[in-house]
Amino acid sequence: MSGIAGKVVAITGASSGIGEATARLLAERGALVSLGARRTERLDAVAGELRDKGASVITGRVDVTRRADMDAFVARTVEGFGRIDVLVGNAGIARIGPMADLDVDGWTAMIDVNLRGVLNGVAAAMPAFRRQGRGHFVTTVSTAGLKITPTMAVYGGVKNAVRTVLEGLRQESTDGVIRTTAVSPGYVRTELADSIDDPAVRELTRRTMAEFAIAPEAVARTIAFAVEQPDDVEIGEIVVRPTRQG
């Protein structure tokens, strides 16, 4: 199967930012979308707008740190649409700040959401992908793992762990059934800064985003490019960042 029209795409973190933009773009191009997030009120509003435009959409509350939630999300997608072709693992948080602050709770939260959440998605969707004979994991990573910078040591480390997991899965999946794509955005205008506890770092991140960050729609187009490839083509990794980002 190539193209986007008719594909069943499940998206986590779909209530705002990159996830929302991806849902809108793929639905516009004819995908059947299953949207998951913790903020169901916002999620339902997005779904309502898409349905008004003729899109096929189902939604559900999903906390990616809970394996049962991810299992139910995939099951709901398969029940509603008959299959699942793509899982876009987009949910993520950024609890960044100097390591000397010893924000152990923040480190743990990033491991739980950004890494464990991806693993829960793999565990939930892999059996369905194998039964179908095909499936595609598209996962939001980050340029923070490509260029290590102060205040982002743990965040970048967790994102690099995700990158490693995806590359390992790719090498284990050369039978043509499973495809993996790691999408590494740079600064994007999203609500990610809201999850930063350190006031100075949060304000700096917001200023940087306001100054030169790209729109989430740019990342959505990148994801669409990976999704629309035929089954024998795998886009392993894509980096998309502002031209002004160092």
Q: Enumerate the active-site residues.
A: 155
Inter-residue long-range contacts of 167-170, CB under 8 Å, 24+ positions, other chains counted: 167/236, 169/122, 169/137, 170/234, 170/236
Supply the angle between the helices 17-28 and 216-227 in degrees, to the nearest 10. 50
Dist CA 232 CA 230 (whole Å): 6
- 137: which strand partners? 87, 180
Task: Please check whether residue 48 is in contact with residue 25, taking contact to mean a CB–CB distance below 8 angstroms.
Answer: no
- Compute the distance between CA of residue 91 and CA of residue 210 in angstroms, rounded to an integer: 22
